[in-house]
Amino acid sequence: MLRSPKLKHVIVAGLTGICAVSSAWAQSSVTLYGSLDAGVAYISNVGGSSKWMEEQGNTQPDRWGLRGAEDLGGGLKAIFQLENGFYTNTGAMASSGTLFNRQAFVGLSSDQIGSLTLGHQTPFSFDILDPFSTAYVSGNWYAFHPGNIDELADTGIVPFNNSVKFRSANWYGFTAGAMFGFGNTTNFSTGRTMSYALTYSTGAFKAGATWSNEHDRSVSISTIGLATFQGQPAATYTADKVENMGIGASYDFGKVLLHGLYTRTKLQSAGYSDTFQSYDAGANYQVTVANAIVSGASTSTLSGRRWTQFVIGDMYSLSKATQVYVDVLYEHANSEAQAAFFTAGVSSGRNQTSVVTGIHHSF
């Protein structure tokens, strides 16, 4: 039993000091964030008929997530991120049976060195090249290149599983990255992925380049109107090996943002080899603080087939978190292909037009 008031005060003061030191040593933060987008879309030709539908995730994919950090001292932090993709119009998960289908990783971050994370993570093509694409800059999902073969849009099959990812700190405007994904099988090469990246940023100018090598990757060939590809059914096509690379840049003049991107994806299986290439460029004009005109064009080729598409739209910000928009898109395919906006459905002919309007809110 403590009988001395003075001794009690010393003990209380000591405990208070320990708590204060612990709090300063391990400060943690967890952020809940998300994005919801819904609207109405008109597609001129899907299988020979026009189509009206409620659309979702047009400007940004519908998602919610948690990201957190714990300060470990000396510029070192423990970090994590969990992110789920879903559909606002139905409430369903984007990848059935997989809760955190977009991101799920944990790791360490150093102010001086960079970050090292492990888990289910997006590839560098999504992280670095996507912001130079017309689809990203204009805020229109249909403007991604046919089939998303170059992995610019994050879907259920794009992130690397069982991956280790390093992103360096900024060194005189440059950052570098390396990523490796384990197949988790007894055959070390089965399902293996590796990727590298380099970026540069100074003021209004940004540039980035990536290269990746992926084994046993599923590719959405059926969404570009093919029944078979490289001797396989298009609906279940899996490449033995995919080499995916790209380089992009942008320059912000203040009212005008210019951007350009080139991607090249080599698909190989059972002795076959075909290359998908895309050239992409556009400009955004900030008419007022709240209103922007978005525009861009791209052309993509695969084994004698070509798809060329254009987009122009208007985005009006009601606040920092809420925007309303309207976009018009047009795609033309050559005689060897069918028009097919990404995820909109394959046209019965060589042309396809889309008009999309909606509202986006982020939190």
pLDDT-derived band at 157 (thresholds 50, 70, 90) equals: confident
Per-residue confidence (pLDDT) for residue 13, from 0 to 100: 47
| 0.75 exceeded by pTM | yes
- Please write the tens of the pLDDT for every residue from 308-327: 999 999 999 999 999 999 99
What's the pLDDT score for residue 25?
A: 52
- One DSSP character per residue, 187-239 reads STTTT-EEEEEEEEEETTEEEEEEEEEEEEEE--GGGGT-SEETTEEGGG-EE
- Taking alpha carbons only, the member of 244, 295, 30, 271 closest to residue 129 is 244
- CA 53-54-56 angle, 5° bins: 130
Within a domain: 4: no
Q: How many CB atoms lie within 10 A of CB 47?
A: 10
**Which stretches within 114-161 are classed as H helix?**
124, 134-138
DSSP state of 148: G
Has residue 79 been placed in a domain? yes
Q: Which residues pair with 69 in a beta bridge?
A: 29, 79
Lowest pLDDT segment from 3-12, 238-247, 277-286:
3-12
Nearest residue to 329 via CA among 337, 320, 339: 339
Whether the pLDDT of residue 99 is over 70: the answer is: yes
Question: For residue 324, is it within any domain?
Answer: yes
> How many CA atoms lie less than 13 Å away from 124 in the CB half-sphere?
33
Confidence check: pLDDT of 335 > 90: yes
What is the domain extent for residue 126?
30-362
Q: Looking at the domain assignment, is residue 25 inside a domain?
A: no
Tell me the per-residue pLDDT of 259-280, one tens digit each, with 9 for 90 and over.
999 999 999 999 999 999 999 9
pLDDT at residue number 26: 63
Residue 336 pLDDT more than 50? yes
Nearest to 75 by CA among 169, 171, 201, 194: 169
- Tens of pLDDT, residues 6-59: 444 444 444 444 444 444 456 899 999 999 999 999 999 999 999 999 999 999
Q: How far apart are CA 296 and CA 106, in angstroms?
A: 36
Q: Which of 73-82, 143-152, 154-163, 195-204 has the lowest mean pLDDT?
A: 154-163
What's the total number of domains in the chain?
1
Identify whether 93 is part of a domain: yes
CB 302 within 8 A of CB 287: no
Torsion angle of C-alpha atoms 312, 299, 151, 173, degrees rounded to 10 = -80
- CATH number assigned to the domain comprising residue 206: 2.40.160.10
The answer to whether residue 5 is domain-embedded is no
Q: What is the pLDDT of residue 9?
A: 47
Question: With contact defined as beta carbons under 8 Å apart, do 119 and 99 qualify?
Answer: no
- Mean pLDDT computed over every residue of the chain: 93
User: CB-hemisphere CA count at 13 Å for 362?
Assistant: 12
How many other C-beta atoms lie within 10 A of the C-beta of residue 71?
15
Is 251 a member of any domain? yes
Token pair of 272, please? 């076959």
Residues whose CB falls within 8 Å of the CB of residue 209, separated by 6 or more in sequence, listed in order: 128, 197, 198, 199, 245, 246, 247, 248
What pLDDT does residue 16 have?
46
pLDDT (average), residues 98-118: 97
Q: How far apart are CA 219 and CA 253, in angstroms?
A: 37
Strand pairing report for 232-233 and 28-46: unpaired
Among candidate residues 167, 168, 136, the one with its CA nearest the CA of residue 154: 136
d(Cα 248, Cα 59) in Å, to the nearest integer?
Answer: 20
Percent of the chain with pLDDT over 70: 93
Residue 217 confidence class, pLDDT cut points 50, 70, 90: very high
Closest CA to 110 of 159, 163, 171, 19: 171
Q: Does residue 168 lie in a domain region?
A: yes
Task: Please state the length of the chain.
Answer: 363
